[in-house]
């Protein structure tokens, strides 16, 4: 396991999954924008770029930060999970519980594993 606790591997996997989803949504919006007729081209392109940047950033946090046991990787990972919780709640209250509930479960799993003592020890050591 290269000195990485299971909690850190799960946390990195959760963040990477979120990154892949954001990246995929960014690509989807970009393709739809370029092949369709969006109401507002500028907004559609901005949304596509935003999805691509967020996805790439989360993949960097997962691979370049968490898997390498870099301390800086935890803060953006935790922040992402915190942002996901109200998004999931909004999806549930808007009648899309099939999307909101899994999002909340994944975000909670990410938070628990990012803040777990073995992850903290792996990232920060004994001091």
- For CA atoms 71, 73, 75, 81, the dihedral sign is negative
Q: Do 57 and 19 form a contact (C-beta atoms < 8 A)? A: yes
What is the predicted pLDDT for the residue at 109?
97
Q: How many CA atoms lie within 13 A of 113 on its CB side?
A: 23
Mean pLDDT value of segment 58-87: 97
Encode pLDDT of 115-126 as tens digits. 999 999 999 986
What is the predicted pLDDT for the residue at 69?
95
Position 62 confidence tier, pLDDT thresholds 50, 70, 90 = very high
Query: What is the model's pTM?
Result: 0.91
Position 63 confidence tier, pLDDT thresholds 50, 70, 90 = very high
pLDDT for 30 beyond 60:
yes
Position 88 confidence tier, pLDDT thresholds 50, 70, 90 = very high
Question: Would you state the structure tokens that stand for residue 78, as one six-digit string?
Answer: 């935790």
> Diameter of the chain by CA atoms?
56
Residues 6+ apart with CB under 8 A from 77: 11, 15, 61, 62, 65, 66, 110, 114
């Amino acid at each position: 396991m290269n000195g990485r606790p299971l909690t850190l591997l799960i946390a990195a996997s959760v963040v990477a999954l979120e990154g892949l989803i954001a990246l995929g949504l960014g690509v989807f919006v970009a393709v739809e924008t370029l092949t369709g007729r969006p109401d507002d081209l500028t907004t559609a392109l901005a949304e596509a770029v935003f999805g691509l940047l967020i996805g790439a950033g989360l993949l960097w946090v997962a691979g370049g930060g968490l898997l390498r046991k870099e301390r800086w990787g935890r803060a953006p990972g935790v922040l992402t999970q915190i942002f996901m919780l109200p998004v999931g709640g909004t999806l549930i209250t808007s009648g899309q519980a099939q999307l909101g509930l899994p999002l909340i479960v994944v975000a909670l799993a990410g938070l628990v594993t990012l803040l777990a003592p073995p992850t903290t020890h792996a990232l920060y050591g004994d001091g």
